[in-house]
Structure 1
Amino acid sequence: MVVVCLCLLTASFTFAADNYKMVKVKAPFPMQPIKVFIYPDKDFLITDYGAKNGGEVNNTKAIAAAIEACHKSGGGRVVVPAGVWLTGPIHFKSNVNLYLEENAILNFTDNPSDYLPAVMTSWEGLECYNYSPLLYAFECENVAITGKGTLQPKMDTWKVWFKRPQPHLEALKELYTKASTDVPVIERQMAVGENHLRPHLIHFNRCKNVLLDGFKIRESPFWTIHLYMCDGGLVRNLDVKAHGHNNDGIDFEMSRNFEVEKTLIYAT
């Protein structure tokens, strides 16, 4: 599937309400205004927490420290400056806007062990514990990725995992069986052996007030943007190229009250 341009629901406008901008959307059905959090005017540069430019040093801990400090202060922007920044998974907390400056590249590793321990996520509609998505938020409120930078994962390992050999197919059978027989999600541990269930690029799970605005995506291990059981948000001004294996573009699964506009997607 190739989507060239996605623009859903038009003629929106905003007004202020407490700490939010309220976006009213002209839609052919009743729709609540979308709440966009007004992030505090505070910046947390990842370099202040030890991040190193150049694409050689793994900056996972430095970025996590910046996110923690931002969250504890009440929110703001975690700023990724121009340059190439190697990292493993990025886990969000409430009231955090990950801001990618122009010419900033977040270059995600493709070492599966970097994405352990497993987290609660899903695989093609079935909840399970799997490798952490590259950018992951769980039960967060007010989370954003903005700016003109780029998300660009390394792909060598994930391309090998594009194939679906017998161990992978057996893992899917196991997951389908457990899900259909109501085995608790915590017992659906899929990040083991040769199961090779690839992680999402962006997976926001049970979150409220999401903003994805302005950045570029260049490739993805699995589904590119997955908004799962989320309530309210804007997806706009994105440039997405993820022409690998079942990358999709944007998947809304059991989510509501979203507007998508001015977004270019080239994904399979």
Structure 2
Amino acid sequence: MKTVVGNSWQISRRSLFTLAVVSGTLLTPLSVEISNAATPSAELLTQKTVSSATSLRIEDLPAGFEEIPSAFKPQIAAYLSDFVPLLTKQNLQINDYFVYVNRDTLEVVSGFTTTIPNQPLSLLRFDANLRQVAQPQYWQQLFTKLQPQISVAAKLLEHRPNRLNVGNSSAGATLAIGALNQKAQVDVGSFRRGNVGVFTAVMSLNRSTPQASLQDLATKLDNRIVQATANSRGQRSEVRVRN
């Protein structure tokens, strides 16, 4: 019995790790068109304050989720460090990368934030890139591009647009993916609030309705960005007054 349980747990661990890798790598190409231009020094305080206060937290998730085991983190980071230059063709700064798992339901919530240069052209490029999420051919091309880089076979089975009602601009999609001889559902989305870009996904095995709602999580992140930005502006105003 212990052997059966042990083997089952190993399969569960492998499934969770694969879900985390696949969902993480699906997020990075959403920012292909983000400019890598230098950001004015006057915005550095805002960026630092916002990025440290906008991560998804464990209390934002339904009961049963936990942070990914620390043993997996170096592997996830290694995958992302390889994928970001491959898919974006630039050094994209990732802030607050998060991964949470539910071992009972085999769900993974992952995502990250990035700071967009606060320039009209950069913001327009980001918004234009969001519209790709609604196009099935974009995901077909992405899977073809990613396949040599992923250690397990994965293919896109279905695509449905799934609009997010958050931020200044947003887009989302629900994907059905075949991997590990199972069917996984991925709710993936991205939005922009000011010059902060957010990419997040909820990936699940054997569940048509994930326990974690992408819309709910995106709303919590959006509210947190709004609050962090307001706090940052207050700090800058206080610094000016003191000077």
Q: TM range, normalised to the smaller chain? A: under 0.3
So what's the TM-score if we normalise by structure 1?
0.24
Question: Structure with the greater relative contact order (CA < 8 A, sep ≥ 6): 1 or 2?
Answer: 2
Bigger helix fraction: 2
Bigger strand fraction: 1
